[in-house]
């Protein structure tokens, strides 16, 4: 089924797929930039809107961010506890 554009024109399924692929690539680039800048929570929040996608690239990045945020939170807590016990 073709999508109707604002001027009454229709967009073919091939064109729709190309637009979706462009959106995915823009999302991947944005998330990768946030990840490389160590803004993992911000990247995770941004990517969570795509959690129902079937795109493996987005799902892989979502899984990587969940792991990174969880590990960072855990090791941050653990190191804090170790530092506190050493000081006291």
Summarised one tens digit per residue, pLDDT across range 2-52 is: 555 555 566 788 777 777 788 899 999 999 999 999 899 999 999 888 888
**Rounded to an integer, what is the distance from CA 17 to the centroid of its chain?**
20
Q: Is residue 31 part of a domain?
A: yes
- CA 59 – CA 52 distance, rounded (Å): 9
1 — pLDDT class (breaks 50, 70, 90): very low
Query: Is the CB of residue 13 less than 8 Å from the CB of residue 2?
Result: yes
Q: Which domain holds residue 12?
A: 6-87
Q: Is residue 78 part of a domain?
A: yes
Q: Is residue 1 part of a domain?
A: no
User: How many structural domains comprise the chain?
Assistant: 1
């Amino acid at each position: 089924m073709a999508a109707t554009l604002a001027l009454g024109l229709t967009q073919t399924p091939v064109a729709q797929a190309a637009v979706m692929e462009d959106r995915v690539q823009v999302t991947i680039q944005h998330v990768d930039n946030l990840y490389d800048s160590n803004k993992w929570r911000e990247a995770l929040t941004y990517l969570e809107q795509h959690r129902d996608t079937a795109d493996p690239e987005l799902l892989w990045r979502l899984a990587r961010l969940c792991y990174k945020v969880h590990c960072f939170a855990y090791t941050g807590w653990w190191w804090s506890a170790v530092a506190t016990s050493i000081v006291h």
